[in-house]
Amino acid sequence: MIGAGFIYAVAGAAFALFAALSATDRTNPKRFGNAAFYALLTASFWFGDAIGDVGNGVLVLGLVGIAGFGLMGRGGRATTAPAARVAEAEARGNRIFVPALVIPATALIGTLLFWQVPTLVDPKQVTLVALTCGVLIALAVGYAWLRPAPATPFAEGVRLMDSVGWAAVLPQMLASLGAVFALAGVGEAVGQLAGMALPSGSLIGAVLVYGLGMAGFTMVMGNAFAAFPVMLGGIGMPLLIRQFHGDPAVVAAIGMLAGFCGTLMTPMAANFNLVPAALLDLKDKGAVIKAQVPTAIPLLVVNIALLYFLGFR
């Protein structure tokens, strides 16, 4: 049965190629740091199950060490000349987006088809398997149609990863932190503190703590999905749903929306707020966050109001 092993094998192969290309990129003075970083990611995907929790923990410390000591840099490996890119874009027009559109199309069609053959693909991994197949098909389409040099797509991938740097893995690490917090009982601790601080029977107080807590924990963890189990376990379930008989669907959905408001206001949400600044070479790395805060705060207020008025009818 096709499942996570297939996904990890493909992702590991990509990072293995990134490591090899980085190690041979003499334009990057920190090429061996980049190569080590990508090699550790390769090991995580390929051998994560075999090395166990302690081994993976050591691997993560290695990633943190490489990033923390500034051992990564940006390479300048040449792929295609700017003039050639302009000519290619003018010749192909909007059709140049076909390989990129293959990925979501394959993910959608593949998901629907794989559901019809439950013995072929792990039901828990159907969408990710279809997405991985879409990436491979898009790569094949790009090779057949655009005919680049064999290493060009992966060299461009390295260029993109070098631009993003260590922040590329920050969302995954923070999501894992959310699971650790939940298992450690942080949600219960938050619930106990809130219970002592809130006036008895105060619905509006519980709603405010839940909404602001979702935004605040998301700002700390960089991911609303990581904040959700903590706040739902500490405030949402015991107070809003059980004590005040709130609608679970409304409490969960609007709680996530409140968390997403926090996403707009934190550098910890690296894939949303730091990566665009890096890719656009903005001088102010916090420019994206500064532009989003005036929208995020009113949205948070609206979401809290919606939760109060819609969740407890």
- pLDDT tens string, the chain, 313 residues long: the values are 788 899 999 999 999 999 999 999 888 889 999 999 999 999 999 999 899 889 988 998 999 899 888 888 887 777 777 787 788 788 888 888 899 999 999 999 999 988 888 788 888 889 999 999 999 999 999 999 988 888 888 988 888 888 877 777 876 777 677 677 777 777 777 777 777 777 777 899 999 999 999 999 899 888 888 888 888 888 899 889 998 999 999 999 999 999 999 999 998 887 788 778 777 777 888 889 999 999 999 999 999 999 999 998 7
Whole-number pLDDT of residue 223 = 81
pTM of the model: 0.74
Predicted pLDDT of residue 277: 79
Within 10 angstroms of residue 183's Cβ, the number of other Cβ atoms is: 10
Which two tokens mark 219? 């700002």
The per-residue pLDDT for 18 is 94
Using CA atoms, how far apart are residues 275 and 281, in angstroms rounded to an integer? 10
The CA-based angle 33-36-42, given to 5 degrees, is: 145
Contacts of 119 (CB under 8 A, 6+ apart): 1
CA diameter of the chain = 69
Q: Return the pLDDT at 173.
A: 75
Distance, in Å, from the CA atom of 223 to the CA atom of 178, rounded to the nearest integer, reads: 8
Within 8 A by CB and 6+ apart from 40, the residues are: 59, 62, 63, 66
**Residue 123 DSSP code:** G
pLDDT at residue 159, as a whole number: 86
* Amino acid at the residue 171: P
Contact predicate 245/201, CB 8 Å? no
Question: Looking at residue 27, what is its pLDDT?
Answer: 87
Distance CA 11, CA 201 (A): 51
